[in-house]
Amino acid sequence: MSKERLQKILATLGFGSRRTIEGWISAGEIKLNGETAQLGTVAEPGDVIDLRGQKITVPTEGLVRRVVIYHKPEGEITSASDPEGRPTVFGSLPSIRQGRWITVGRLDFNTSGLLLVTNDGELANRLMHPSNQIERTYAVRVLGGLSEEQIKQLTTEVQLDDGPAAFEQLTEAGGTGANKWYHVTLREGRNREIRRMIEAVEGTVSRLIRISYAGIALPPRLKPGRAQDLPPELEDQLVRLVGLRPETRRKVLDDDAQRRALKPYRARVQESAPKRPIDPERMPHKKPLAPQRPADPELIPYEKPIATKRSATLERNPHKKLLATKSTPRTRQGTEQSAEGATGPRSTLSRLKPRPRRSEPRAGTPGRKPPRGRS
């Protein structure tokens, strides 16, 4: 970077427009290398500029220009900070190492659509300056639609508090029911100008979206809250429109780096949340531990039943489990009473106990299996 005037250097770095910075220089609020600067003072790389107490070193090389398309959703403001604590667009923009992000124009809190963002302050100032007559196109949804008389008045002249205004173009864009869409074109950017113009002809705006700025259209696949770099050919076309030279240096990024750079950043406070219980259906390899019951000396310890033909049948046919008898823990006294008072052919306790083995062999022919039935 060669020697340049202070207002141009600070405007390129994004600290304000040239006219604003010239006012700061005239008021003696800017110093260069410890001395108060004057109009026409030039600086070179390595010089230190004191801007209202903020130290700024003139870079050796100029910043690599970047232009980003951001799809602003409703519910975000375009300012860097908000005393009410509302979210800003800068919380969703990708990170930048050279310079700082500057929004080209503003969008209301309830307005969505295309927002150009760049780190080149001179480009941003020229795109917003009224003398350049940059074209802006919006999609407006009007409750009840507009009559022919209202359309004629909006395209001719509408008296507002800050002077007359008119749409350069107004075309119908469809719509169903009570709401109808229109595409309107302006070449100036006053505060809430479109809403005030339609309200002046007794219309009601139910939705407003910016779909184009300086010939750059909103990409149809760019979701709200996302950003993407402007293609090089469109960026060159944009800077030539305001009389600047195209950027010869490009920031080359591979696919992974570009994906990380365009990922929106949202700072959130991570609160310590309680751990979730393990779901055995989603994580079968991590089964929850069974709750341990306090030991009771009066309870009989549970013994795993011996696998029998009946238990195997129940495993194969789960619907037959309803026929199985559920065993409940009994005290020793209750067990003795149930054993003594069992008068039926086979009690529940007798079915759980294994049968004693016969000490004497059954009668039968040696070498052959004993006959079935009682001996």
- pLDDT value of position 142: 92
Contact in structure between 115 and 210 (CB atoms under 8 Å)? yes
Residues classed as catalytic: 108
d(CA 197, CA 135): 17
229 has which bridge partners? 68
Q: What pLDDT, on a 0 to 100 scale, did the predictor assign at position 267?
A: 37
**Bridge partners, residue 361, by sequence:** none
Across-strand partners of 216?
213
Indicate the burial class of 127 (C-beta count within 10 angstroms; 0-12, 13-18, 19 or more).
buried
Sign of the dihedral defined by the CA atoms of residues 209, 213, 215, 220, in that order: negative
pLDDT of residue 290: 59
Judge whether 57 and 230 are in contact, CB under 8 Å. Answer: no
* Residues 180-198, mean pLDDT to the nearest whole number: 91
- The pLDDT score that the predictor gives to residue 265 is 39
Mean pLDDT of 223-239: 91
Same CATH topology for 64-133+219-265 and 135-213: the answer is: yes
* pLDDT above 70 for 314: no
* Highest-scoring range by mean pLDDT, 6-20, 90-104, 179-193: 179-193
3-class SS of residue 310: helix
The CATH class of the 135-213 domain is alpha beta
Per-residue pLDDT at 352: 55
Q: Is 80 exceeded by the pLDDT of residue 147?
A: yes
Range name among 147-151, 244-248, 278-282 with the lowest pLDDT average: 278-282
How confident is the model over 324-340, as pLDDT tens digits? 444 445 544 444 444 44
C-beta atoms surrounding 182 within 10 Å: 24
Instruction: Let me know: does 329 contact 295? Beta carbons within 8 Å.
Output: no
Residue 167 — pLDDT band, cuts 50, 70, 90? very high
Token match 């795993």: residue?
Answer: 304
* 194: phi then psi, degrees, rounded to nearest 5: -65, -45
Confidence of residue 4 (pLDDT cuts 50, 70, 90): confident
Tally the residues of the chain: 375
The domain locations on the chain are: 4-57, 64-133+219-265, 135-213
- Cβ(46)–Cβ(53) under 8 Å? no
Mean local confidence (pLDDT), 138-145: 92
Name the token pair of 78: 């375009």
Q: What is the pLDDT of residue 359?
A: 55
**Sole residue written with tokens 């406070």:** 269
Per-residue pLDDT reduced to its tens digit, 269-283: 334 445 556 565 655
Q: Does 286 have pLDDT greater than 80?
A: no
CA–CA gap between residue 350 and residue 221 (Å, rounded):
75
Asked if the model's pLDDT at residue 261 lies above 60, the reply is no
CATH tag, 4-57: 3.10.290.10
pLDDT tens per residue across span 86-129: 889 988 888 887 778 889 988 999 999 999 999 888 888 889 98
Q: Give the 3-state secondary structure percentages of the chain, helix then strand then coil, rounded to 5.
A: 25, 20, 55
Q: What is the pLDDT of residue 338?
A: 44
Percent of the chain with pLDDT over 90: 28
For residue 35, is pLDDT > 60?
Answer: yes
Q: Whole-number mean pLDDT of the chain?
A: 76
Q: Among the listed ranges 103-112, 128-137, 364-373, which one has the minimum average pLDDT value?
A: 364-373
3-state secondary structure 261-298: HCCCCCCCCCCCCCCCCCCCCCCCCCCCCCCCCCCCCC
With a cut of 80, say whether residue 143 has pLDDT above it: yes
- Considering the domain 64-133+219-265, what is its CATH architecture? 2-Layer Sandwich (3.30)
Is the pLDDT confidence value at 59 over 90?
A: no
Is residue 54 predicted with pLDDT exceeding 90? no
Strand ranges, E, within the chain: 4-5, 30-32, 35-36, 42-43, 48-51, 54-57, 67-72, 102-103, 112-118, 136-143, 158-160, 163-165, 169-172, 179-186, 205-213, 216-217, 227-229
- CA distances in angstroms from 264 to 90, 146, 178, 227, 251, listed in the order given: 9, 39, 36, 8, 19
pTM above 0.95, yes or no: no
Q: Residue 170 forms beta bridges with which residues?
A: 184
